Chains A and B, each alone.
Chain A
Amino acid sequence: MSLWKILSVIAVCLLQDRLPYEGSIPAVAVIPRLDVTAVLRTWRIKGVMYCPWRGHTKPCLWVENAYPCGLLEVVRQQFKSHLPELPQFPLRTTTSGHNLGNLHFAETRVFTFVPPLVQELEIPIAAPRPKFLINYLSELDALGWRTGLLDLLFAFGKDCAGNWGCYSPRSGYVEQQSEVIAAHLQALRGGRVASQPFGRVVLFPYQFEPRTGHFIQMISPIVRPAVSIGSPDLEKLEKGNVSPFGAYLFAQWGLFDECRHCLDPRYLPARPPVK
């Protein structure tokens, strides 16, 4: 980034209280930015089931596909958010996001975000019930997110998102050359904390633990196609996607299967990432 761009960003920050990304993406505006091709790319038939339904036997198509289930936000300014709906929270004295050499620190938020199917589709799609919840704000989990002290009491296996990095330690510090890949990993770690609190300050447990081989899509600063978590193509992941404010918004796409009226939507296990 040129010196001129850096100076412009600093000038913008000094001239206004609100940063340009703050409140720029209402939750509703995320829907048209979702990469719907992710549903079609991952859609496959697993089989056919027959089950009793209203007095007779009904067949259903057992399908699997990706479906949006969460919003993961990574910012370097406390209590600032892309989502204008995020209400004011009581400020606490904690450190804010920063970079130090290859060490990146950022705040992370996790929201359950399962949008409704806007229209009836001809093909059956595995989709959990629409839901919207605030699950985790790392600012409220200062001790855990900054030190990872309580996590030392538990044994977390060496579970990694391919060569992006590992899901633990579940803290906001990531050693990574690229800020973009660091942001992806920080978002996933936040999701892991929210889904398995183990004593961490979580507002509401998150049902959709981020898993390798499921999908994540950058929504801000640039709308990108959904990519498999742990995908080895790091260059594609980071090229031209750096936020001047270190602020990133991602949509998490979980892999689900469902056989309507026979089998409720199920969140599927991790799998090897695809290119």
Chain B
Amino acid sequence: MKNWLLLAGCLAWVLWDEDVCTHPARGDSTAVSLEAVGKAQDEVKRRLAVSWDKSFKISADGPYESGLPACGFRQTRRIRTQLPPELVGKSIGFGPSDRIPPADIRVATSARRILEVQADAMADRMLSERLGVRCSPTLIRALSEVELELVENP
């Protein structure tokens, strides 16, 4: 008897249909074209994919050129400038990526492909001016916290 009651209860619960909540439309509405949205998304995807490919070629495959002219003849000069103690006794070599003079810190002044740069730093205008570099290749030695020796075309 108990089982029959339980079964009847379950059937009543399953068959009971809850009222569907309805909300009347208010104001103007415009139908959304899912097809148009899909097409727009595909277009954005395509443009970004093309943009990525192009950008990678520009930013990584491109050459690097600092604009420093080539040194004419060997010349040694000294300049006075404030240097951090961590750099004293260290050498810094400026030169084209494949011909940087042997040094503790190697700075590339140019490279055929920026990704292939085998250097610790790039010779941008700020760095070249800070160290008084006029041409490439140049080998710098930090003699003290206030003096640098620059050997052009070493």
Residues on A lying within 8 angstroms of B by beta carbon are: 27-28, 31, 85, 87, 89-90, 112, 115-116, 118-119, 130-135, 140, 142-144, 149-150, 152-154, 197-204
Cβ-defined contact, A133 with B122, below 8 A: no
CB pair B52 A27 closer than 8 Å = yes
Given A142-B120, A149-B87; A204-B58 close (CB under 8 Å)? yes
Nearest CB on B from A111, distance (A): 9
Instruction: Assess whether B40 is in contact with A119, with CB atoms less than 8 Å apart.
Output: yes
B8 on the A face (CB < 8 A): no
A152-B124 contact in complex given A28-B49, A116-B44, C-beta closer than 8 Å:
no
Interface flags for B37-53 (1: CB within 8 Å of A; 0: not) read: 00011001101110110
CA distance A256 to B13 in the complex (A): 59
Q: Are A152 and B86 in contact (CB under 8 A)?
A: yes
Residues of A contacting B124 with CB < 8 Å? 197-199
A198 and B51 in contact (CB under 8 A), knowing A149-B105, A203-B114?
Answer: no
Interface pair B45/A203, CB less than 8 Å apart: no
- Residues of A contacting B52 in the complex (Cβ-Cβ under 8 angstroms): 27, 85, 132
B115 within 8 A of A: yes
Say yes or no: is B100 at the interface (Cβ < 8 Å to chain A): no
Cα distance, A116 to B47, chains bound together (Å): 9
Q: Is the CB of B48 within 8 A of A150?
A: no
Contact of B83 (CB < 8 Å), options: A144, A153, A199 = A153
Q: Is the CB of B59 within 8 A of A204?
A: yes
Q: Which of A130, A198, A201 contacts B117 (CB 8 A)?
A: A201
Q: Are A199's CB and B44's CB within 8 A?
A: no
Please classify the interface of chain B as helix (H, G, I), strand (E, B), loop, or mixed, using the class held by over half of its residues: helix
A92's nearest neighbour on chain B, judged by CB, is B118
Instruction: From B45, B48, B127, give the contact of A199 (CB < 8 A).
Output: B127
**CB distance A28 to B44 under 8 Å?**
yes
Taking CB atoms, residues of chain B closer than 8 Å to A150 are: 105, 120-121, 127
The residues in B between 107 and 154 inclusive whose CB is less than 8 angstroms from any CB of A are 107, 114-117, 119-124, 126-127, 130-131
Does B55 contact A132, Cβ atoms closer than 8 Å?
A: yes
Q: Which residues of A contact B119 (CB under 8 A)?
A: 201
B interface residue count range (under 10 / 10 to 19 / 20 to 34 / 35 or more): 20 to 34
Task: Tell me the nearest residue of chain A to B48, going by C-beta.
Answer: A28
User: Residues of B contacting A200 with CB < 8 Å?
Assistant: 121-122
Give the Cβ gap from A159 to chain B, nearest Cβ, in Å: 17
Minimum CB–CB distance from B28 to chain A (whole Å) comes to 15
Chain B min CB distance to A194 (Å): 11
- The complex places the Cα of A202 from the Cα of B108 at a distance, in Å, of 12
Tell me the nearest residue of chain B to A196, going by C-beta.
Answer: B126
B-side contacts of A27, CB under 8 Å: 48, 52
Most chain B CB within 10 A, of A119, A144, A197, is at A197
Q: Is the CB of B86 within 8 A of A201?
A: no
B84 partner residues in chain A, CB cutoff 8 A: 152-153
Contacts A134-B55, A204-B58; A143 near B44 (Cβ below 8 A): no
How many Å lie between the Cα of A46 and that of B51 in the bound state?
33
B130 touching A154 by the CB < 8 A rule? yes
Q: A116-B47, A149-B86, A150-B127 are in contact. Are A197 and B56 (CB under 8 A)?
A: no
Q: Does any Cβ of A come within 8 Å of B79's Cβ?
A: no
Nearest CB on A from B106, distance (A):
9
Q: Are B44 and A201 in contact (CB under 8 A)?
A: no
Contacting A at CB under 8 A, from B19-44, are 40-41, 44
B38-84 at interface with A (beta carbon < 8 Å): 40-41, 44-45, 47-49, 51-52, 55-56, 58-60, 83-84
A-chain residues with CB within 8 Å of residue B131 when the two chains form the complex? 153
Besides A143-B121, A154-B126, A199-B124, 5 other A-B contacts (C-beta < 8 A) = A115-B44, A116-B47, A132-B48, A142-B120, A152-B86
